[in-house]
Amino acid sequence: MSESEDRTEKTPVAPGSRPVLGVMWMIVTGICFVAVTASVKMVGDDVPAAQAAFLRYVLGLVFLIPMIPAIRAATFSPRVLKLAGIRGAAHALGVIAWFYAMTRIPIAEVTAMNYLNPVYVTVLAVIVLGERISTHRAMAVVVALLGALVILRPGFRELDPGHFAMLFTAASFAVGYILAKILADEVPAAAVVFLLSVTVTLALAPFALYVWVPVGPGDLGWLFLTAVFATAGHFTMTLAFRAAPLTVTQPVTFLQLVWATTLGAVVFSEAVDIWVVVGGTMIIASVSYIAWREAVLRRQVAAAASTPGYGAAAGRGDRQDVRDSPGN
């Protein structure tokens, strides 16, 4: 073995520089999330949406056990607990609406409309966090919303309550995401995940008790699989983000729509709607573009921070100039 080859083998791979691995993990993530929708679809309307959502989270609490030592060491201020409670309530309502939508509309439509979440996040970041949005990203948001209209086609077909439930779900999850960004600056990531799981479970409990029906072992099994695949999906998604940047992994999420459409057609005999595919593609393309622009922004900020004279006092203004530049 040559000296250069030996150095190559011993040189560690920098984090975020393994695109192939990132794509592979993102493919696995998509499979997991499609499996989540499939397992919920198998339960159908045998179990009310609120109860099914509650059981999914209760069964998923077992995955929080490894986090207990870290949670005991964390300190939660009243502000953190308040924000976590609001986030849990918003997420709980979104989950109920999502479970309800799964019983009403095809898997492909649920999957496509769920991609609106990052679009809502971009809008809420402007309203809640005071972030500025460039013309390019604003146009991407408009294209995504047009994609939603292509899927829904109001006036050309009868809309189901499940469609409105998905619009509400995406908005609720966007609220939760914004609050998660705020919480992540104040408590460890494990605490953010733990607080969400606990608060959502508590928030879902009264809704579940109100509509409670006996549940068979088969439905419990499907809901446990929902929890397993959801947990695995979030874990593999984290691995994908560590291996490669969003600009590489985000476009791969398009495969999730392909698999959801195929699954719905083959397993659940759902008709393939070309307009859902077209609208979903528009949304995914817009979300991918937003992710790419965010990556460009981070590189510009890093480059500005590395220039001589970029002090703490001037840094904020420099970063704002980068954020507001026409290229973003």
pLDDT digits (tens, 9 = 90+) for 5-44: 444 444 444 445 677 888 898 889 889 989 998 999 999 8
Q: What is the pTM of this model?
A: 0.76
Q: Quick one: pLDDT at residue 83?
A: 93
Say how many Å lie between the first and final Cα of the chain, rounded: 47
Q: Quick one: pLDDT at residue 307?
A: 65
- Count of C-beta atoms within a 10 Å radius of residue 109: 27
- 51-61 pLDDT tens trace: 999 999 999 88
CB 162 within 8 A of CB 105: yes
154 phi and psi, to 5 degrees? -60, 135
**Among 99, 100, 57, 111, which residue's Cα sits nearest to residue 224?**
57
Q: Quick one: pLDDT at residue 205?
A: 96
Q: Quick one: pLDDT at residue 10?
A: 45
Give the residue extent of every domain in the chain: 128-158+273-306+313-328
CB 263 within 8 A of CB 31: no
Q: Quick one: pLDDT at residue 266?
A: 87
**Among 151, 191, 181, which residue's Cα sits nearest to residue 167?**
151
Q: Quick one: pLDDT at residue 309?
A: 57
**Among 89, 81, 33, 20, which residue's Cα sits nearest to residue 248?**
20
Flag residues of the chain having pLDDT under 70.
1-17, 246-247, 250, 298, 301-302, 305-328
Q: Quick one: pLDDT at residue 246?
A: 64
Q: Quick one: pLDDT at residue 326?
A: 32
133 phi and psi, to 5 degrees? -115, 130
Q: Quick one: pLDDT at residue 11?
A: 42
Rounded Cα–Cα distance for residues 151 and 253 (Å): 18
- Count of C-beta atoms within a 10 Å radius of residue 211: 13
Rounded Cα–Cα distance for residues 214 and 46 (Å): 10
- Count of C-beta atoms within a 10 Å radius of residue 196: 20
